[in-house]
Structure 1
Amino acid sequence: MTKYRPYQEITAQSINVATLMGLFNDLEKRSDNAAALTPVVVFLAFSMESYINSLGAQHLDIWDELERLPWKKKITILHKTVSKSPDWGSPPLQFASQIFKLRDRLAHGKPEIVYGPVLNSEEEAVEVLRNPTIFQPDWYSTINKVWLLESKNKFRTLMVYLGELFDRHESDHLAIAYTGIEELPDKNF
């Protein structure tokens, strides 16, 4: 007697994009400060890279050997696969560069000194030290709700752009999983 087993191919892409969309949905509940918004930036980068890896794995048999390359090299390889060259000045790829630069600062950053204002007394200086939002590097202070809301549209544009390299539907990056039913001959049970 033949048996049937349903399956679902889960991807890191589906987990990351679902998490990112949840973070975007909760954006209005978050404080408008970089620390509260940093998880959105991190999942933007995770979602972008996992989609790059998903496309690579689906279209290049040797992707396992390439997966550890830097994101920019992977995008170049995806373009070469379809006989194109990446235009790093285009808005989608500039956005990718911006997000990965932030991600790299967060993941690989080195200590840096951020100075506060020059004050007339030690008491004033102590008071300033109690306000942690004053001491943020310039690159970190760019993270805010307005920028993230704009980033949501830029993210979608980038994902559509990458998918179109391989004639994927504009919603391909939102795919939760691929499903199917496997037919098993009786001898397996």
Structure 2
Amino acid sequence: CGNFRDNYLAKPNSTGRASAPLVDLAILDGAGKPVAQGERGEVGIRSICNFTEYYGRPDATAAAFTADRYFLTGDIGYLDEDGYLFIVDRKKDIIIRGGENISCQEVEAAIYEHPAVAEAAVFGLPDERFGEVPGAVVLPREGETLTTEALCEFLFAHVAAFKVPQRIWIVDSALPRLGTEKIDKVSIRTKYRALAAAEAVTA
């Protein structure tokens, strides 16, 4: 995709339009079928530039492509009325709570609106009733005091109640980061899922 000059000024949050005729985009549902215009789904790319297969891994190759050879990117997005792609989240960062989809990025954005928050990471926690519920780790800004109760009260005014994290850890040190300087969501999710499981056992 490309988004340049006047197009970028008009839609700065968009990745742009597919570079026709070499690239074809589709927004697909869980069965690999196109969704209606403007609806969210997984971004699929079909191009002569796509790789053919994972070497020696036919199972991974089958999982990565639809029957009509769209490569499944793992990104969740939508195409607007002009064919511009907007990416809203990663598929693995979607929490499915009792059939309701929750975007980790949306909840993180709401947390960052709190003036006392410096860093935040949102992820799914296993839940017997709902399957998954949101959890969060939050680092307050230096010199600020933040409680889970105050943050939850703030979030209830900014997102739907079912999107408010059911467990929030307030930490006093910077969140771990990858070499790219992005917050390391994988290690955070692993660590705090284990903590939540341990708390459930001792409760």
TM-score band (shorter)? Answer: under 0.3
- TM-score, normalised to structure 2's length? 0.20
Higher strand content, 1 or 2: 2
- TM-score, normalised to structure 1's length? 0.21
Higher helix content, 1 or 2: 1
State which structure, 1 or 2, has the greater radius of gyration over its C-alpha atoms.
Answer: 1
Looking at both structures, which has the greater relative contact order when contacts are Cα pairs under 8 Å and sequence separation is at least 6?
1
